[in-house]
Amino acid sequence: MNRPQTTDHRPSSIVRRPSSGFLNAIGAIVWKDLAAELRSRELLSAMLVFALLVILIFNFALELDPLTRRVATPGILWATFAFAGTLGLNRSMAVEKDRGCLDGLLLAPVDRSAIYFGKTISNLAFMLIVEVVVLPVYSVLYNTNLFNPGLIVVILLGSVGYVAVGTLLSSMAVQTRTRDVLLPILLFPVVIPILIAAVKASSGFLQGLALTEVMPYINLLIVYDVIFTAVAYMVFDYVVEE
Amino acid sequence: MKPQPIVLKVLNVASVLLFLAALGMVFLYAPLEATMNYVQKIFYFHVANAWVGMLGFIAAAVAGVVYLIKHDQKWDIVELAAVEISLVFFIIAIVTGSIWARPSWGAYWTWEPRLTTAAILEMVYIAYLLLRQGLDDPDRRARFSAVYTLIGAISVPITFMSIRLFRTIHPVVIGTNSTASQGNFDMTSKMLATMFFALFTFSVIFVNLFWHRIRLGQLAQQVEQLKLEELQ
Amino acid sequence: MIEYATSIKYMLAGYAVILTVLALYILSLFNRWRNLKRDLQTLKEIQKKD
């Protein structure tokens, strides 16, 4: 397993140049996660298969005729992302905990929040990859055009907020006895603003509403992202403290 | 555990007396409302319960933040007490709200922003209790709980705003009496007096129960510590 | 205008809920207090024996 400092050949430089050490540490964590995933592919394949299954279930649960589809598509997409997201978040942290990586990271002479941002960025990357695959598949399956720049902005903003809170809460959940079931229970009630805003903004863009009608939701997503990234950054220390 | 201090005993008696007086005011003093008549009397205690739920929510958020700053176990006890009381009183508020809604607008549940937010807050609190249950180490439990309380305290107001935004852009007609559902019926001065008296009464009850719950938490902490000592 | 009979039924249901939930909560506080006291007593006795 890669240690976070492997990219930094002079560990003492972390002390002297904290800002670049911070960024290096984040980069190292992201790199470690992506490289490990590239080798095993267990996280992404699980998320992708799960996402496709969720869409399949929705197909039979809702009888998606062309008329229903128009109304239901944003909701189905976000439900899929949310479910697949928890799967990924849980797994990504559980791996960290089980292989003792979390302890290793905590021992590393870097700011703890670097661990938070590193994990958040790699979780975001996984989520975006899943979304990049799900969108065209959904488009093909349901003959709906989802290639809309507005929708992509919404998905980006929504995923950032979701992962910002999700990474914090999953690092708490993996340290509990009930870790397998706890994450969605902790996460869903607090990401409801994201789901509401993202679904509304997505359907606004897909139905070609005027930008002024969609903007309140975009603003809400931005506000949520900023607030929760800041809060999670501030409290992450309490979550990993030994 | 020390015996109940005098002030707490006074509060116990005051709570019971005020509660009886508030009931008396609701049923004997407040006039009947014209269109909803008797069922409108739920309004006084419904609002008072929601008010106590709010007080508990704020108290929990404050206790959580103070815990994160001070790292003192006693704030964890305060936080848990506040969450529990808020949970109980919001349940009452939600159920009485639904009972009132049924005859007024023909449905037990409408996805009205306040009602929905209260329900989501209940989910946050249940998640909070499940989180605590999954943690044995008191210090870690306190830290995680405080963090989650903080996340909930920030997200719930945003949830309320987003549901309201959702409703204003896509208004849903819930019934002809929908203004009445907001508590916007014409209140006479006697109704107002009754409402404020109920609010005052439940504030006293809140302080009283909060105090008892904190004492219970302190006792629980004592027992937990003794158990840990015994195990070592 | 809601019928008086219906209105009274819902009002009584509402106040029944309020009183029941409050009573149950206070009862649970009592119960937990009593159980903790008992635990405390037992623990203290065990400590004395040691």
DSSP of B149-204:
HHHHHHHHHHHHHHHHHHHHHS-----TTHHHHTT-S---HHHHHHHHHHHHHHHH
Among A68-72, A198-202, B13-17, B23-27, the minimum mean pLDDT is found in A68-72
B60-119 pLDDT tens trace? 999 999 999 999 999 999 999 999 999 999 999 999 988 888 887 778 888 888 888 999
ipTM of the shown complex: 0.89
Cα R_g (chain B), whole angstroms:
20
How is residue A147 written in tokens?
């290639």
Instruction: Give chain B's domain count.
Output: 1
Is A65 an interface residue toward B (CB < 8 Å)? no
* Å between B171 CA and nearest CA of chain C: 25
Residues ≥6 apart with Cβ < 8 Å to A111? A18, A22, A25
pLDDT at B186: 66
Please report which confidence band the pLDDT of residue A242 belongs to, taking 50, 70 and 90 as the band edges.
low
First and final CA of chain B: distance in angstroms? 23
Whether the pLDDT of residue B180 is over 70: the answer is no
Long-range contact pairs involving A85-88 (C-beta distance under 8 Å, separation at least 24): A85/A47, A85/A127, A85/A130, A85/A159, A85/A162, A85/A163, A85/A166, A86/A166, A86/A183, A86/A184, A86/A187, A87/A46, A87/A47, A87/A50, A88/A43, A88/A44, A88/A46, A88/A47, A88/A123, A88/A126, A88/A127, A88/A130
Q: Which of residues 14-33 of C touch B (CB under 8 A)?
A: 14-15, 17-18, 21-22, 25-26, 29, 32-33
| Domain range enclosing C14 | 1-50
Please report which confidence band the pLDDT of residue B190 belongs to, taking 50, 70 and 90 as the band edges.
confident
Mean pLDDT, chain B, rounded, equals 86
Chain A, chain B: beta-carbon pairs less than 8 Å apart: 96
pLDDT at A30: 87
Is A212 an interface residue toward B (CB < 8 Å)? no
Domain annotation covers residue B42: yes
- Average pLDDT rounded to a whole number, residues A163-192: 92
Sort residue A143 into left (φ over 0), alpha (ψ -120 to 50) or beta: left
Among A131-145, B105-119, C12-26, the minimum mean pLDDT is found in B105-119
pLDDT at B178: 46
Please report which confidence band the pLDDT of residue A15 belongs to, taking 50, 70 and 90 as the band edges.
very low
Q: Which chains touch A (3 or more CB pairs under 8 A)?
A: B
- Average pLDDT rounded to a whole number, residues B134-148: 92
Q: Are B159 and B120 in contact, with CB atoms under 8 Å apart?
A: yes
Domain annotation covers residue B10: no
Output the furthest CA–CA distance in chain B (Å, rounded): 68
B198-227 pLDDT tens trace? 999 999 999 999 999 999 999 999 998 888
Mutation for C interface: B2, B92, B177, most C CBs within 10 A? B92
Q: Name the residue with higher pLDDT: A128 or A142.
A: A128
Instruction: Give chain C's domain count.
Output: 1
Whether the pLDDT of residue A140 is over 70: the answer is yes
- Average pLDDT rounded to a whole number, residues A58-73: 81
Write the DSSP symbol of residue B31: P
Is A226 an interface residue toward B (CB < 8 Å)? no
User: By C-alpha distance, which of B59, B75, B56 is closest to B67?
Assistant: B75
Domain annotation covers residue B193: yes
Whether the pLDDT of residue A2 is over 70: the answer is no
A65: three-class secondary structure by DSSP: coil
CB contacts of B216 in chain C (<8 Å) are: 29, 32-33, 36
pLDDT at A7: 45
B151-177 pLDDT tens trace? 999 999 999 888 888 776 544 444 444
